[in-house]
Each structure stands twice: as C-alpha cells, then as structure tokens.
Amino acid sequence: MNRSTRPALAALATLLLAPLVVHAAAAPAKTGAQAKPGAVETAAPTLANVAYGEHERQVLDFYKARSARPTPLLFHIHGGGWVAGDKARVANLDKYLAAGISVVSINYRYSTQAQIAGVKPPVKWPLEDAARALQLVRSKAAEWNIDKARIGASGGSAGACSSLWLAFHDDLAEPASADPVARESTRLWCAAVSGAQTTLDPKQMKEWTPNSRYGGHAFGFMPDPNDNKTRDTRFAEFLAAREEVLPWIRQYSPYELASADDPPVYLFYSAPPALGQDQKDPTHTSNFGVKLEEKLRQVGVPCELVYPGAPGVKHPQVFDYLVEELKAPRKG
C-alpha cells in the first residue's frame, strides 16, 4: 500500500531482554549513601505524566538528552499483553540518554478497559493510543529539542506488536484537522522490538506454532476482562470465529499491514525458531519473527532477525541497533 506522508526512514531496533532499568515516576534517582544496595541508578523524567488524552492512562514520561541540536527519540511502548504493565520500565534508559537519544515512555488504555467500555475491537484503544501519543510527541518537537523525523519505536511483547503496527500502518495524520496534534505524522524512522507477536491472525499463529494461545482478547474473546488470568482461555473460539473478525485482523495485525514503503525493523527473540512445532513460550516464539522476516524480504523491507544461533547477526542488542540507526547520516 502507498504511503504519501511519512518522515524519512532508515532502520529499526529495540532490546527489552537486557536488564531492565526502573525509574520512579517523578522522584530523582538515589545516589551515594541514599541508594539501596544493588539499586539501579537512573535519571528521573524531565517531564512526568504528560497527558495526551483525557483518560488517566493516556500519559507519558519524557527524558531529555543533553544536546545543542535536536535529538533522535526512542518511543517506548511497554508490554503486558495490553492488559497490564506500566511506562516506568525502560531498558538501557541511561545509555540512550548518554548516546544523545531522548526517550519517551507511554502508558495507554488497556484492552480490558476497552472491552468493559464496549469498544470493538478492544485492541483499538492501546494501538490508537500509541499513535496519538506519538503525534503529541511530534507536536512538542521544537519545545523538547527533538528531531521529529528520527523516531524509533521499541517495546517487548504487546509493546513490540504495537511498535510494529505503527511501523507498518498508513500515516494516521489528518492534515486538514483543526487539532494541531492530529495533523502530525505517525510514521517512524525505524522500529526495534523484542518478543513480538507479528500477527494477530489465529490461523497463521496455529500454522506457525500449533500450541498458540494468544490474541483472542484483542478482539473481545476474553470471558472476564476484570481477571487477566482469563486472557488466553478462548483461543479455540477465536480461531473458529476467524472469518467473522477478519476485517479487524486486517486492520490491526502487523503482518497484514507490512508493505514495501515501510521502515526497516529489528526483531529480537530469546530462543531459536521451530516452525510447525509446539513451543515452550508460544506467545513470544521466534517463529513470529521468521515469518515476518520472510514477508518483509519479499516486499523489500530490511529486517534484522536475532535469536540464539541466528546467522548474520550485526547487532546483538536492540540498544546497539537503535543507536546506529537513529544516529546514522541521512541518505539521499
């Protein structure tokens, strides 16, 4: 599909399996005698809980890297299956700031909250919140000293799926809108993710990994949205109803949206693939990565797939990939 509005592209990246860096939402980091033994010292947000919507979870934290010039930006989306998690965990936060890359970490409305509110499909809220947060960030580019073109999305699990959805989706900018935030682009310079679900199609998941169980909750197949333990209990019903929800799958599944004009991506997984075989962790299997890389290769989008024993690995960690891609010289 053609995309007429987008920032320049160059590459994708993100690593969430590195040791997690934890920050307190607005409190300064403890140092010296104040720090607890073994505590990780880290920067506090430059701006905490910046609202990009009216809901209590439509907030983000901004960490400003010191630079005389506009900086690239890591746009971090937390994992948790779209039913849990928080923006207060960003891998390698201090290292990004030291490398001259500013960071935004967002919260978003959970799919369970959407299901309770009657939103169909429930995944609409977390994914479209990510897009709106990105637009808000771009609207602050001058104020926050950000290069609005050089924004790379990253996250793990559901945050990885959200990042890929942003990377592959047509630009959601509304140039004629009276809302200046809505006029901003949702296109990315790159994306780098960890443990990504690259498809939300139950038929594909079942073919790639027979013991798949994830994804039904994104489309309302969750018996009790107040109990996260019920999230993955209705996969068989989800699969049986595939034709009914196929229009939603085509709108929200990253694999469905990928096309030739998308930015390059980096995919990290913690175990090697085994297509067509049951997996110890079917929700985060590298089978997802193998099949997405296959499609991206067909349409001409650069993709670096990393897992233990993967061939031709150039960047072992998401951090390495993002720093190189976000700070690479412009092409053309």
Token pair in block for residue 254: 């990253």
pLDDT at 209: 98
> Which residues fall within 8 angstroms of residue 197, CB to CB, at 6 or more apart?
157, 158, 160, 161, 214, 215, 283, 284, 288
Cα 292 to Cα 253: distance, rounded to the nearest angstrom: 11
Among the ranges given (13-27, 166-180, 265-279), the one the predictor scored with the smallest mean pLDDT: 13-27
At 267, is the pLDDT very low, low, confident or very high (cuts 50, 70, 90)?
Answer: very high
How would residue 330 be classed by pLDDT, with cut points 50, 70 and 90? low
Q: Decide if 193 contacts 157 (C-beta within 8 A).
A: no
Is residue 11 pLDDT above 60, yes or no? no
Q: Is 144 helix (H, G, I), strand (E, B) or coil?
A: helix
CB 6 within 8 A of CB 175: no
Per-residue pLDDT at 235: 98
Euclidean distance between the first and final Cα of the chain, in Å?
Answer: 23
Looking at residues 115-124, what average pLDDT do you find?
98
- pLDDT of the residue at 169: 98
- pLDDT beyond 70 at 31: no
Q: Taking the domain 40-197+258-326, which CATH number applies?
A: 3.40.50.1820
Q: What integer pLDDT is reported at residue 248 of this predicted model? A: 98
Asked which of 20-34, 66-80, 204-218, 252-266 is least confident by mean pLDDT, the reply is 20-34
SS3 35: coil
Mean pLDDT, rounded, for 114-129: 98
Q: What is the distance between the alpha carbons of residues 8 and 150, in angstroms, rounded to a whole number?
A: 8
Amino acid 22: pLDDT: 34
Per-residue model confidence (pLDDT) at position 331: 61
Once rounded to an integer, what is the mean pLDDT over residues 177-198?
A: 98
pLDDT of residue 107: 98
pLDDT at 188 over 90: yes
pLDDT at 29: 33
Helix (H, G, I), strand (E, B) or coil at 294: helix
Among the listed residues 79, 273, 83, 250, the one whose alpha carbon sits nearest the alpha carbon of residue 161: 79
Is the pLDDT score of 286 beyond 90? Answer: yes
* pLDDT at site 329: 79
Where in the chain does DSSP place strands (E)? Answer: 47-51, 59-63, 71-77, 102-106, 146-156, 190-194, 265-268, 303-306
Mean pLDDT value of segment 239-261: 98
pLDDT at 332 over 50: no
